[in-house]
Structure formats: structure tokens, C-alpha cells
A and B are shown apart, each in its own frame.
Chain A
């Protein structure tokens, strides 16, 4: 049974190799299941399935991370790498757009700000 933290250090080729080995092991276990093999073998099926899942998870995570790093800073990035949020939030005004003021309003704000006074007791 492979452990995820051990897999994270491996390079891509090693990950894919362990994936192939695990899949081969799983097919052998399925044959044992059909031919009525040892109970230990049949019980191992679950752990091998989960190991395959772990290898694939680590592989996909590393792949996505690498692509994100490569795409960072470029003007156009794939939509699945962009922020997901919600459809409405993606179409809403940005903070800068909402904070924009007309020149008239800017002048008013500079010349006539809201004053705070203190009353001398």
C-alpha cells in the first residue's frame, strides 16, 4: 500500500511506472477473485484500488501545479486555471471599477471632505 507523502517526491516517470504495476497487480487480484483464490488476495483488492487512486491524485496534482507555475504571469490562461467563484461574481464589477468616481466627485471630495470636530469641554 503506497503512501501519498512517499509518492510526492517521485518524478513523473516513476509515478506512472508505479501506476502500471498497481494496475497489473489489480488485474491479477481480479483473476484470483474469479478463480476463488485466497481470502488475503481478495481482501487486498480494496487497498490496491485506493493506492491507484492515490497515485493518480498525486500525479494530477503535480501536473496541474506545474502548469499553473508555467502559465503564471502570462496574459491568457486556460479557463480551468482561472478563479471559479460563481458565474455572477466573475461578471461583477471589479473593486477598482466600483471605486471609480467622476472628476466632479473627486474634486468635491478633495475640497469638501467630511470634517470631524471635537467639542472642547
Chain B
């Protein structure tokens, strides 16, 4: 009756369903939303660039030169403002910082415009404690 024992073993295996019910989900909605999977942070084995790129936005690059036209002279005397020609890609915050670094002055506000010549002009209004006339003399504008 060895065959009978073998048959009984096979029959036992067959009563357990071959497909497990673990993975089947019940979907109550039509949509399929992408699950969030594991995203690891980078751990580079070598630096992508051996030397990090140089920043080209330092103060000497931002401010090119001051303007010495008649109207800018008037602004120096009357409105306590200095007028600079400035790097075209500089923004007002960078201009403010650059003026502070180069000339040690605080400014109230900076107004900018792009001239038809393609240059950026910055009107830098100095704060009350600084005198534009003094700074202009110091820099050499007058």
C-alpha cells in the first residue's frame, strides 16, 4: 500500500490552495495612486566637481562705476542718493550689500532701471547718518 500513502500525501498538498490570499486587495476606487517608495539621500563617492564653482556675485562685480552726470550730481546734493552703473543681472539686495561692502554706507532704498543702452542704473538712497556728498568726495566722483 505504498502507492496509497503517496496518493494521500499528494491529496493533502492539493487541498491547500496553491495561490495564497495574502496579496489580493479589494479596490473600492477606480484610481491608482502611486505609492511613496524609499528615496535615499545621495552619498557620493566622489565630489561631482573637484572645486566648487566660483561665485561671480562679489561686490566688485556687482557695482561697475558711479555716474557723474549733471543729474546724478543734483541727486547727490539734494536727495542724498548716489547713482551707479551696476551689473545687469544684479538685484537690489545685492546692490545694497555691495555698496555696504565697498563704501561702508547704509542705504535706505535702491531703485534700479535698465537704460536703453543696456546698462543697469541704480539709484542708491543713503540713510540719514551718511552724507552722499562726503562719500562722493571720498570715492572721487566729485
Listed in ascending order, the chain A residues whose CB lies under 8 Å from chain B are: 23-24, 26-28, 30-35, 60, 63-64, 67-68, 71, 75-81
Contacts and interface: CB of A to CB of B under 8 A. Distances in A.
A26 B80 CA distance: 26
A32 B141 CA distance: 8
Given A60-B51, A78-B46, 13 more contacts: A27-B60, A27-B102, A28-B140, A31-B65, A33-B65, A35-B140, A35-B141, A67-B51, A71-B50, A76-B46, A77-B46, A77-B50, A79-B48
Interface string B53-68: 0000000100111111
A26 to B, nearest CB: 7
B79 to A, nearest CB: 20
B63 A27 contact: yes
Nearest to B69: A34
Interface in B59-92: 60, 63-68
Contact of A64 (B51, B64, B67, B68): B51
Chain B: number of interface residues, binned into ranges: 10 to 19
A63 B48 contact: no
Contacts, number: 47
Chain A, interface SS category: helix
A35 B45 CA distance: 54
Given A31-B139, A34-B66, A67 B50 contact: yes
A78 B50 CA distance: 5
B46 A23 contact: no
Nearest to A23: B60
A32 B140 contact: yes
Contacts of A31: 65-66, 139-141
Nearest to B50: A78
Contacts of A30: 64-65
Contacts of A34: 65-68
Nearest to B51: A63
In this complex, which of A30, A34, A60, A79 has the most chain B Cβ atoms within 10 angstroms of its Cβ?
Answer: A34
Given A32-B140, A35-B140, A35-B141, A27 B49 contact: no
Contacts of A35: 68, 140-141
A30 B48 CA distance: 38
Nearest to B139: A31
Contacts of A77: 46, 50
A76 B45 contact: yes
Contacts of B50: 64, 67-68, 71, 77-78, 80-81
